[in-house]
Amino acid sequence: MNIMQRIVILSGILLLIFCGTFLPYEGEYRHPRIENMKAYLGYYFIFSPPQSWDVRNKIDSLGNANSNMFYHSYVLVSRVWLQVGIISIIIMGLFFIFKGNKKC
């Protein structure tokens, strides 16, 4: 493994760690008499997920709902897996592009 491959691997690991600390969230409003509404909330730090008032602010078209107990958010796991997969493919491609003479 040459120096460029080591840089690519290290950069990929750091990028995957960064993607794991900032996760994509989606918010949802549930009410028995009103149709459920969803909204993409964006990326939040893993230890500071969006609160119910963040979801409520994003879904502001519901004027008759006054309680925060119907609002919740969750991680978009499919998007996380997609990001990890794309980053892994790019890192593997760069690893093989920089394959050359072995220099320690």
Rounded Cα–Cα distance for residues 10 and 16 (Å): 10
Mean pLDDT score across all residues of the chain: 85
What SS3 state is found at 80? Answer: helix
Give the model's pLDDT for residue 64. Answer: 47
- Dihedral sign from CA coordinates of 48, 74, 76, 63: negative
C-beta atoms surrounding 23 within 10 Å: 18
Angle, helices 77-97 vs 3-21, to 10°: value is 170
Are 27 and 73 within 8 A, CB to CB?
A: yes
- pLDDT tens column, 5-27: 999 999 999 999 999 999 999 98
**Which percentage of the chain shows pLDDT scores above 70?**
87
- pLDDT tens column, 44-68: 999 999 988 888 888 775 554 555 5
Q: Is the pTM for the entire model greater than 0.85? A: no
Give the model's pLDDT for residue 1. Answer: 80
